[in-house]
A and B are shown apart, each in its own frame.
Chain A
Amino acid sequence: MYKTILQHPIYDFLYKEAALLFLVLDPEGNVIEANNYAKDIVGSDLLSAKPPFKKILLGFSTDLPPLAELIRGGSVPRMLSLATSRGKTQTYYFQFYEKEDRIYAFGQINHLEMETLTENLVEANNEINNLSRELHKTNAHLTKLNDQKNHFLGMAAHDLRNPLCVILQLSDFLYTQAESLLDAKQLKMLASIRNASKFMSQLINNFLDVSIIESGKLELELVSTDFVPFVERTVLVNQLLAEKKKIKLTFQGEKNLPQIMIDNYKIEQILNNLISNAIKYSFPESTVQISVQKSGDYILVTVQDEGQGIPAAELPKLFQAFQTTSVKGTAGEKSTGLGLLISKKIVSGHRGKIWVESKPGKGSTFSFTLPC
C-alpha cells in the first residue's frame, strides 16, 4: 500500500524504523496500514480494521473532532492522545495529509516538552533528597540535645538529692525533738521547711526517674507476683494519708487471678501516684475506690474518685511532662507535673496501657492494664 507514495529505499527505511507514528487510513477512518513504531505503541490490534481511527484516540469527552475536520487541519500539528499497549496515555502531535482515497497521519512526541518534564522531575527529586538530608541532620542534632538534657537533669538531681536529704532529716528531727522548746510560730516555720523539703525531694526523685526513662535506661526487674494482695498492701499504705483528709479508701480485687510478671517497685510507684492524686483532688467525706479485675489477656486496675474532675480540654496533655491541670488539690497540695508521665512510661515498659475518664464535678477514673 505504502509503495504508492514511498518510492525510495530511504523512505521505506523511515517508514519501517523511524520513531514516528505513521498511519494510513481509508476515508471511513479505518487504519489500513501502520508502521512498526505505531504497532509497538498502540498494539497489534491496530490493524483489526475496526474501530475507526478516532476511537483509538482518548479525550475527556467523547466529542472528538470528526476525521474530516482533522484532515482539514492539514499540516498544522494537532495534539491528540492515544492509549498505548502498556495501558498508558501518550500525547502525540499529529499532522494529516489526504491523497487520492487515502489519509496519511503522522504523529510525533514533543521532545522539548519531554525534556522539560524530565528536568523538572530531576530537580524536584533532588530537592526532596536534599530536604531529607537536612531533616536527618536536624533530627540527629535534636537527639544529641535531648541526650545532653537528660544527662544534665540526672546529674543535677543526683547532686541535689544528698543535701536535701540532710535538710529533711534535720528538720524532721527538730520537729519531733524540739517541739517542747519552740513556740507555735517557730513550729509553723519548721513545718514549712519540712513540707517544702519533702516536695523538693519528690520533685528531684521524679527528675531522676524521667532522666533515666528518657535516656532509654529504664530497666524492669520482673518478678512473678500475686497481684491482688500486692495492690491491697499498697492501698493500706495510703490509708493514713486518706484518713487525714477524712476520705474513705475501698478496695475490690477479683479472686483467683493468675500471677503476673511485674517490677514490684515501679508498679507500686504508679499505684501510690494514682491513689495519692485521687486523695489530693477529692473532698472530705468522699470515697476513692480501687479495683483489680481480669480483662481479656490483661489485668485491669482502676482508681476512681468522687473529686473535682478534670475539664475535657485538659485531658489530652495529662500524661505529658510538667503538665498540671487547672484543678488544684483540695487541701492546697502541690503537684510536680511528672507523676503521670512516669506512670505512663512504666506501664508502657510493661506493655500495658494507661488512660483517664473524667467529668468535672463528678470525679475521675484512672485505669491501667498489665499483661497476664
Chain B
Amino acid sequence: MITEEIYNRYLANLLSGNKKECSKIVTDLLDRKVLIHNLYMHLFQKSMYEIGKLWENNRISVATEHMATSITEGLLNLVYPVIFSAEHLDKRIIISCVASEYHQLGGKMVADIFELNGWDAYFLGANTPSKELLKMIDEKKPDLLGLSMSLCSALLSLEETIKTVQSSISKLPIILGGQGFAGIGKELTDKYSNTIYFDSLDKLEKWLRDF
C-alpha cells in the first residue's frame, strides 16, 4: 500500500517542511487501513533514515533535519487512536533515550510498537538521567527496559546507564536500539549480559510476539 510514489512524495514534502501535505498523505493511508507496522517501517523509519544520511553527507542542514523530525513526531499523533486501542496483556516496558541523547523519535516509535502489541509502554523522552530512570523502574516494575541511542557520541552515557541499572536490578532484560549501535551492537551485547540488540523494528516485533 505504501508505493514508491507515495513514499517519494512524502519524503519530498518532509524535506520541504510541508507538514500539511505530509499529514494528508498519512491520513489517507490510515483511512485506507494501512498496517501501522508498515506505516512505521516503510514511511516514517525509512524517511528518517534517509534524512539522517542526507545530513551526515551535508546534503541538508541540521535545521532541515530537526524540522523533519518535528513533523514526523507530530504525525505520530494521527496514529495514536489506533495504537492505544489495542487490548492489553499486563506487561510493561520503560523506554528511554540515555543522558545527552536528544533524538527521541526512534525510541518513541519502539514504545508505540510495544503498545500496539498490548504492552504498557512508558516513554521517558530524550536525555534521561540514570537517576530518573531508576526511579521510574522502581515505580513501574517493568518486564523490560529499552534504551535508545541515535548517535554513537552518547555511547559513554549508554554504558554508564547499563552499569547503573544492572547494579540495582541485574535481572531486568535490556533491549538496545538505534542508529548509534550500527557496527557496535553485537559488541555491546557481548560485553553486558542480559542485553539484546535489535537492528530493525521488524526483528523486534517478531521477537516480541514470542516474549
Contacts and interface: CB of A to CB of B under 8 A. Distances in A.
Interface of A: 118-119, 122-123, 125-127, 129-130, 132-133, 136-137, 139-141, 143-144
Interface in B70-84: 70, 73-74, 76-77, 80-81, 83-84
B102 A122 contact: yes
Interface string B158-172: 000000000000000
B66 A118 contact: yes
A129 B84 contact: no
Contact of B123 (A118, A130, A140, A141): A130
Contact of A127 (B66, B83, B125): B125
Interface in B53-95: 63, 66, 70, 73-74, 76-77, 80-81, 83-85
Interface of A is mostly: helix
11 contacts: A119-B102, A122-B102, A126-B102, A126-B104, A129-B108, A130-B108, A130-B125, A133-B108, A137-B115, A139-B84, A143-B85
A141 B74 CA distance: 21
A132 B66 CA distance: 19
Contacts of B125: 126-127, 130
B14 to A, nearest CB: 16
B76 A133 contact: yes
Interface residues of B, number: 20
A137 B84 contact: yes
B113 interface: no
Nearest to A138: B84
A108 to B, nearest CB: 18
B98 interface: no
A144 B88 CA distance: 11
Nearest to B62: A118
A122 B66 contact: yes
B149 interface: no
A144 B85 CA distance: 8
Interface string B196-211: 0000000000000000
A144 B84 CA distance: 10
Interface in B148-183: none
Which 6 residue pairs of A and B lie closest in terms of their CB atoms, listed nearest first?
A140-B84, A136-B80, A129-B73, A130-B125, A137-B84, A126-B126
Interface string B102-130: 10100010000001000000010111000
